[in-house]
Amino acid sequence: MKKFALAGNPNSGKTTLFNYLTGSTAHVGNWPGVTVDKKEGVYKKCPEPVNIIDLPGIYSLSPYTPEEIISRNYILDEKPDCVINIVDATNLERNLYLTTQLMEIDVPVVIALNMIDAVEKAGDAIDAEKLEKKTGLPVVKISALKGTGLDELMKRAYAASLKPRKAFTVLEGSSLIHLIGDCRIALEGQKVDNALFHAVKLVELDELEVKAHPDAARTVEEFKKTFKDDVFGNDFEAVVADGRYKYISANYSSALRRGSAKSKDKLTKSDRADRVLTHKVWGIPIFLVILFAVFHLTISENFLFIGAALPEGWVSLEGTAFEGVFGAGGINSPGVILFNLLDLATSSISDAVAGAMEAGNVAQWAQGLVVDGMLGGLFAILSFLPQILLLFLFFSILEDSGYMARVAFILDRIFRKFGLTGRAFMPMIMGFGCSVPAMINTRTLSDENERIATIRVIPFFSCGAKLPILTAIAGGIVMQFGIGNADLITYGMYVLGITVAIVTVILMRSTTMRGEVPPFIMELPAYHAPQFRNLMLHLWDKVKHFVKKAFTIILASTIVIWFISHFSWGWQYLSDEEINSSILAGLGQLVQPLFTPLGFGSQLGSWGWVFVVAAITGLIAKENVIATFGTLAACITSGFVADEALGGVDSVVQMIAATGITVPALIAFIAFNMTTIPCFAAVATAKAELPGKKSFNMTLVFWIVTSYLVAATVYTVGSWWWTVFIWLALWAAVITLIVLYNKGKLKFTVPAFLKGKK
């Protein structure tokens, strides 16, 4: 099969184009550095199927960052049949810099002038024919966003792939062209492929090339001694870069015709927005308010806080199934209305199933397994799908509009002082979706220690799977204790997670994970209206992922949980009332004392194991925490036996009522689940992405210690406010110890089992 590679600057629209061509749903984000690994898909509308490869975004083919190395090696070694060079037409000159390097490789290249819609909207125009003549490469105007020009692009790319192209360079007029020529001849003599490209890189004294061709490199070094440019001295890399830019502005730039006034106005609009949104003082409060609005829309049961102003019985659906769906005390937010509607549907399904099984005289244990175990667990978690999707929709809008990149920018300004770059915050923000891609995204960080520290704190950015834990428990607290708004609690927990992440990452960067703060020039992408298709793709992806997980891992886990909670060690079937003698209870009781300082251990008496086992099942998938409650809800209550599967919030209410757990303990439970070892998939990813066994082991220790300390702090301070002083003293002592240890004033040995092999 033919292979076409998509190459271009970060944020130029490669992934958008890739998704369009291949029907994939790869992540498109409005910030640089989202694609860190190559992705493949098939385009079917050419005379033969074509493999399309989405490469990481790059500004040049010099191997400075992992992205550049991946992209460069792909083009040189895999020899694609055509390189489609995506050029962001709103930023023509800078994007063509990469083009001038691609020209130096013996590979067919087609220029896709992307974002032509934005160019035209700004009142500008680009003369594609002129550019085509000047570059000698086919040029097609496209909009990956709108899907225009794509057939034409692929037709020309296919045509180009049928005949080989000879490399050429725009450096003909450069003072170094003779040296380049000499190197090229030398390399050709050694039968090196793409001699021109390698010759130019050799002249730039590119590290990889010098290593690969030491003889030719010596010639360059010799020449360097006698050479002196007026401006750049003998920095050949700068001389070459300058040569490219000069050529671009002399020959290519005229293809762009500015519509003057209008395009200038456009700039100031975005500038004006940035003046507010990235303001030194207001930037962070604005972010916090926006974040709160997101939770309010998703989770609030007192939408817009107008509950108090509503007349009693403002909506009269009393007696109908819809009672309470749209709100009781206040109006429900859209997220809660959707949740309630789905909850209605799922509970009538489980009622129907229970009724049918009862009527059919199915064995008692089988009824329990199906209704309580499987449906109870599944529905407890499934009912949160609308809220998860809504939250994702909002995050996608924030990201796609370009706002999230601003957040990274604001944070970069502050945290640079603590040895962190804004770059590290992009994977962290991605962690709100799922830790797995977020951890992979840390490959954009060049400093290894920054990367380790970032991977460690990514799980603290509460992912979609943890949302049910937050909402179900927050909802349970509101219903059972009548305090607070569920959205405020949830929001508070997200902010707690972010705070823990920031504090621990700063701590690591100033102690065990010290390192360089690489220069990071944050490029603010253009604001634009989020693309509907893109948003729907994101959501659809999420639905698929969620449903697949629900019917595999989560279902399997709930079945196991049901069995071990309904059978004794002697493999005897237990009735609901005997659940405390079950295998599950026994296992939980074994470890429950460990959780007493967190508020959900032995102090809950005979139910002390319940929250503990739920947290442990979360190590497989975080959805399991609430699914486990759903499975157990029918039995965890003295005397009361539910004959239907309960929804997520109801199960938690049931748990609270039966166990007598306190509010601080419930908050501590959320905090523990949010900061402890993430799900199995995230752990496996961390293992793959971390540089060695030792750093992986230390990461596990870090997660356990952090979650334990955070949850214990929350519980004790929440229960007895004065313990805050004890904690402050303790935390100060811990930090001092770490600092002393790092200064070498303190020595202790790391246990051998943690060390592993590097």
Residues in touch with ligand GDP (CB under 6 A): 8, 10-16, 28-30, 34-35, 57, 114-115, 117-118, 143-145, 400, 528, 531, 534
CB of 302 to ligand GDP, least distance (A): 34
Would you say 57 or 368 has its CB closer to ligand GDP? 57
Would you say 423 or 566 has its CB closer to Mg ion? 423
Listed residue (165, 166, 126) closest to 142, CA to CA: 126
Using alpha carbons, list the distances in angstroms from residue 620 to 225, 334, 583, 671, 682. Answer: 62, 30, 19, 18, 10
Binding residue count for Mg ion, defined by CB under 5 A: 3
Would you say 385 or 524 has its CB closer to Mg ion? 524
CB of 118 to ligand GDP, least distance (A): 4
Listed residue (61, 65, 57, 41) closest to 8, CA to CA: 57
> Which region among 7-15, 249-257, 673-681, 700-708 touches Mg ion (by CB under 5 A)?
7-15
Would you say 118 or 584 has its CB closer to ligand GDP? 118
Rule CB under 5 A: choose which of 2, 4, 12, 15 binds Mg ion: 15
CB of 115 to Mg ion, least distance (A): 14
Q: Which does 462 bind (CB under 5 to 8 A by kind): Mg ion, ligand GDP, none?
A: none
CB closest to ligand GDP, residue no: 13
How many angstroms separate the CA atoms of 280 and 277, rounded?
9
Would you say 54 or 104 has its CB closer to ligand GDP? 54
531 binds Mg ion (CB under 5 A): no
- How far does Cα 475 stand from its chain's mean position? 26
CB of 46 to ligand GDP, least distance (A): 21
How many angstroms separate the CA atoms of 641 and 367, rounded?
13
Q: Contact 413/663 with Cβ under 8 angstroms? A: no
Listed residue (333, 513, 542, 330) closest to 432, CA to CA: 542
Would you say 30 or 631 has its CB closer to ligand GDP? 30
CB of 152 to ligand GDP, least distance (A): 14
Would you say 441 or 697 has its CB closer to Mg ion? 441
Torsion of CA 321, 322, 324, 325, to 10 degrees: 130
Q: Which two tokens stand for residue 386?
A: 């609308």
Q: Which does 144 bind (CB under 5 to 8 A by kind): Mg ion, ligand GDP, none?
A: ligand GDP
Would you say 35 or 462 has its CB closer to Mg ion? 35
Q: Contact 372/635 with Cβ under 8 angstroms? A: yes
Q: Which does 169 bind (CB under 5 to 8 A by kind): Mg ion, ligand GDP, none?
A: none
Q: Which does 504 bind (CB under 5 to 8 A by kind): ligand GDP, Mg ion, none?
A: none
How many angstroms separate the CA atoms of 201 and 242, rounded?
14
How many angstroms separate the CA atoms of 54 and 8, rounded?
10
12 binds Mg ion (CB under 5 A): no
The upper half-sphere exposure of residue 433, i.e. CA atoms within 13 Å in the direction of its Cβ, equals 25
Would you say 29 or 376 has its CB closer to ligand GDP? 29
CB of 639 to Mg ion, least distance (A): 57
Q: Which does 29 bind (CB under 5 to 8 A by kind): Mg ion, ligand GDP, none?
A: ligand GDP
Q: Which does 449 bind (CB under 5 to 8 A by kind): ligand GDP, Mg ion, none?
A: none
> 756's torsion region: left (phi>0), alpha (psi -120 to 50) or beta?
left
> Which region among 10-18, 262-270, 361-369, 592-600 touches Mg ion (by CB under 5 A)?
10-18
CB of 392 to ligand GDP, least distance (A): 16
CB of 94 to ligand GDP, least distance (A): 14
Q: Which two tokens stand for residue 325?
A: 């769906």
Q: Which does 174 bind (CB under 5 to 8 A by kind): Mg ion, ligand GDP, none?
A: none
Direct distance between the N- and C-terminal alpha carbons of the chain, in angstroms, rounded to an integer: 40
Characterize the bridge pairing of strands 2-8 and 256-257.
Answer: unpaired
> Which region among 26-34, 98-106, 152-160, 436-444 touches Mg ion (by CB under 5 A)?
26-34
Would you say 405 or 598 has its CB closer to ligand GDP? 405
Q: Which does 52 bind (CB under 5 to 8 A by kind): ligand GDP, Mg ion, none?
A: none
- DSSP assignment of 345-396, as one string? HHHHHHHHHHHHHHHTT--HHHHIIIIIIIIIHHHHHHTTHHHHHHHHHHHH
CB of 31 to ligand GDP, least distance (A): 8
- The single-letter DSSP state of residue 143 is B
> Which region among 29-37, 116-124, 189-197, 632-640 touches Mg ion (by CB under 5 A)?
29-37
How many angstroms separate the CA atoms of 78 and 569, rounded?
58
CB of 6 to ligand GDP, least distance (A): 8
Q: Contact 109/139 with Cβ under 8 angstroms? A: no
Long-range contacts of 317-326 (CB under 8 A, 24+ apart): none
Q: 590-629: which residues touch Mg ion (CB under 5 A)?
A: none
How many angstroms separate the CA atoms of 27 and 13, rounded?
11
The upper half-sphere exposure of residue 191, i.e. CA atoms within 13 Å in the direction of its Cβ, equals 0
Q: 30-69: which residues touch Mg ion (CB under 5 A)?
A: 34-35
Would you say 10 or 243 has its CB closer to ligand GDP? 10
CB of 407 to Mg ion, least distance (A): 19
Burial class of residue 470 (count of CB atoms within 10 Å of its CB; 0-12, 13-18, 19+): buried
Neighbour tally for 84: CB within 10 Å: 29
Would you say 53 or 627 has its CB closer to Mg ion? 53
CB of 71 to Mg ion, least distance (A): 11
How many angstroms separate the CA atoms of 410 and 188, rounded?
50
CB of 443 to Mg ion, least distance (A): 13
Q: Which residues bind Mg ion (CB under 5 A)?
A: 15, 34-35
